[in-house]
């Protein structure tokens, strides 16, 4: 029996000249009693938060984070300055609600426009990760804020040693707790055919980048890729909560051409707004995915 899992299904979102197709899922894993991960997947914003603190405090921290992002992202244009303010607001809300005893990582991307050009605005605090698969190459965009990453960058350990280091889960930045909640940002021009992967470390601590690449590169539908990645993490031990978003981008002219092609009846065409994990309407199911 696996943990609680959400399967929202692929959803198409239009953003001017870009059509986004989104898959999302979360699973508490095989060893955790609670799922402290939360996510938001509502264009133009996609994010995963991994709560820390235990005894439901981590769940509260991650939920406050994604609720803050979702609430404000729909009301104002997004850019680096706006995202920085949103994350600062989330940090403040979590500290008030949990008295600085709980925190959360957060990573993700917002689709923004600068001078008529579409960009991914990628942001990160902590060790959840955002990747981009583009033109057959998988690249980790975010950089972990963790003790192991610092050891790796200083040359004191190798990449292989980092995978099994006893302090690999110790983060150096988080929202809601500690002294450093400063986010990092990256701006990447959107290219047709981009596939973003946004995930908690419950995936990356169990599944190698090479295996992640194989699944992303060989699976057409985002929701199928999400389920494949979650299953891979569970088969590898599922020692932590696992949350995965996969976002595909296509130019609307290309997407419209695809839309005229015959479609299988079972293909999911749901375009209702995606609920935020932890809120009413996000109905998890139990059992094997």
Query: Over 70: is that where the pLDDT of 227 sits?
Result: yes
> From its phi and psi, is residue 219 left (phi > 0), alpha (psi between -120 and 50) or beta?
beta
Q: Tens digit of pLDDT for each residue in 187-214? A: 999 999 999 999 999 999 999 999 999 9
Q: What is the pLDDT of residues 131-154, one digit of tens each?
A: 999 999 999 999 998 767 667 666
Q: Please tell me the predicted confidence (pLDDT) of residue 202.
A: 96
Query: What is the mean pLDDT of the segment spanning 236-244?
Result: 96
What pLDDT score does 59 carry? 94
pLDDT at 275: 39
Residue 253 has pLDDT above 80, yes or no: no
Instruction: Name the average pLDDT for the chain.
Output: 82
Position 6 pLDDT exceeds 60:
no
Q: What is the pLDDT of residue 35?
A: 95
- pLDDT: which is higher, 269 or 221: 221
Q: Residues of the chain with pLDDT > 70: what percent?
A: 73
Residue 123 has a pLDDT of 98
Q: Which of 13-17, 29-33, 278-282 has the highest mean pLDDT?
A: 29-33
pLDDT at 72: 79
Six-digit token pair at 171? 């983060």
Confidence of residue 16 (pLDDT cuts 50, 70, 90): low
Across the range 246-265, mean pLDDT stands at: 63
CA–CA separation, 202 and 225 (whole Å): 16
- pLDDT for 266 equals 34
The residue with tokens 């699944």 is 215
More confident residue, 253 or 47: 47
Task: Dump pLDDT digits (tens) for 95-131.
Answer: 999 888 899 999 999 999 888 899 999 999 999 999 9
Segment 44-94, tens digit of pLDDT: 999 999 999 765 689 999 999 999 999 877 766 788 899 999 999 999 999
Full-model pTM: 0.82
């Amino acid at each position: 029996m696996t943990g609680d899992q959400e399967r929202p299904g692929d959803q198409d979102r239009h953003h001017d000249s870009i059509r986004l197709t989104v898959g999302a899922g979360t699973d508490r894993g095989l060893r955790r009693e609670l799922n402290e991960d939360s996510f938001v997947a509502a264009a133009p914003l996609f994010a995963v938060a991994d709560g820390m603190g235990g005894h439901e405090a981590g769940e509260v921290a991650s939920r406050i984070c994604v609720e803050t992002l979702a609430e404000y992202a729909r009301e104002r244009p997004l850019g680096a300055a706006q995202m920085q303010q949103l994350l600062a607001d989330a940090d403040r809300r979590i500290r008030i609600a949990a008295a600085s005893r709980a925190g959360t990582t957060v990573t993700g991307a917002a689709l923004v426009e600068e001078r008529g050009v579409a960009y991914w605005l990628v942001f990160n605090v902590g060790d959840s990760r955002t990747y981009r698969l583009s033109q057959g190459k998988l690249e980790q965009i975010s950089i972990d804020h963790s003790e192991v990453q610092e050891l790796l960058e200083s040359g004191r350990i190798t990449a292989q040693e980092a995978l099994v280091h006893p302090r690999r889960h110790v983060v150096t930045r988080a929202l809601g707790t500690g002294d450093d909640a400063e986010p990092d940002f990256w701006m990447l021009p959107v290219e047709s055919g981009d596939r973003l992967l946004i995930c908690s470390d419950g995936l990356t601590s169990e599944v190698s980048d090479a295996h992640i690449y194989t699944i992303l590169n060989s699976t057409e539908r985002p929701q199928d890729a999400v389920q494949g990645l979650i299953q891979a993490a569970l088969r590898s031990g599922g020692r932590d909560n696992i949350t995965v978003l996969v976002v595909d981008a296509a130019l609307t002219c290309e997407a419209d051409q695809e839309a005229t092609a015959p479609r299988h009846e079972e293909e999911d065409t749901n375009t209702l707004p995606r609920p935020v994990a932890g809120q009413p309407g996000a109905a998890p199911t139990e059992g094997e995915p």
